[in-house]
Amino acid sequence: MKLEDYFDFYSANDIRLKGHRVGIENILDYYLEGYTPEEINGNLPSLSLEEIHATITYYLHNRPQIDTYLADLTEDREQRYQEFYVNPPAIVRKLQAEMARRVTKKR
């Protein structure tokens, strides 16, 4: 089995473990924080140790590309957060207004 056979490459910004909805970034975030494969497995029990080791090995063999992949994901998440913060959906604005009303009412 080739290392790439463990993954589904949906797009340049979406690599997941085959048969799971888990992206490689979920495993690698733990790994880069210093978690062992066994600790990662404790946090992501639906994955086998083999899948976790395969992801780490894939990262180590493709570090420059995967570091770019992870940085792009982080940048995309931050951009979406900023967009949400500046222009939240109507339901969020409604909840914020209700919370402000309740705080004002208590004073």
Confidence (pTM): 0.77
Q: What is the pLDDT of residues 24-51, one digit of tens each?
A: 999 999 999 999 999 999 999 999 999 9
Q: What is the pLDDT of residues 65-93, one digit of tens each?
A: 999 999 999 998 888 888 887 888 889 88
Is the model more confident about 95 or about 81?
95
Query: Which pLDDT does position 38 carry in this prediction?
Result: 98
Least Cα distance to 25 among 85, 77, 80 occurs for 77
Least Cα distance to 26 among 82, 77, 85, 80 occurs for 77
